[in-house]
Structure 1
Amino acid sequence: MTKINIEGSAFVMLVKNLEQTVQFYSKLGFKHEVIGEKIPHHHVSRGSLTLILVEARQENEVKTISSSYEEQYFDVYCYTNAVDLLTREFTEKKVLIVRGPNYDNFWSEVTIRDINGYQISFGGGIVNKDLISRSNKDNDNV
């Protein structure tokens, strides 16, 4: 019997301005492509993450889950083996980091906010294990 694997996913995001949103994600290394003829879908992808962008008819239609529920701090959650390298990339590209980075032996995480208010968390491992001891020392000082 064949084992069924689900090998990726795509999230549909209602955005305020399609062109500006594509530029934002392109700056972060996402590839943009338009799929479909009758009804074009704008995909931005990086690794196994695909976001399907749909421009709202009115800006006030864009309402994120994270803005509605304080305890829900992310709208999209992504897994990575290099939270620390992504955090450095986000910092260098002046992307708004709204939570973290938190570096830990078991799970590290950082959350950014895009130009539409979507909060995207990246969790998993890190490359530079020295950051764990620094992060723990920073937490001890709080």
Structure 2
Amino acid sequence: MADLLKQKWDSFCDELKTAGDIISEQVNLSETDKTEGYRYLLRLLRLSLEMNFEHSNSMHPSFYNLSHETAKIGADNPDNIYLNANINGSESYEIAGNIGEVEYLSFGLKENRYSIDGKMHSLGELDMSEMDIDEIGNFKLLLGPNSNSRNYL
């Protein structure tokens, strides 16, 4: 087991070196741009570790902030707060909350296909204008393969 773990670790480090080579091999980048490239790579590594180690259990999902003020992923809107949770499409989940004072709240189900075809596929979207929300702002959203609720993805 220890030998397999060492092999996996060495492979991971080799892949990380290869990713760094993409930056170092760019001939038209200034030193500042190369430095920023390495910083960006390290930030993506940090986010990937959080996503895949700390928040990857779809049987006990938890929200995490993949893109925030110190770790941008390159496609986020600075006016938005993004929360993510890794779930299993064959399981059912319930999200309960209160809209508070937000002017806009939306939920989306995404299938991450970046490693397959470079795309993030949308499986469904729902915003607060389409949801049943009680008079004090409480809501329940159901996620899963089957439901007849209006608040369902």
The structure that is helix-richer by fraction is 2
The structure that is strand-richer by fraction is 1
What TM-score, normalized to structure 1? 0.25
* Relative contact order, higher structure (CA 8 A, sep 6+): 1
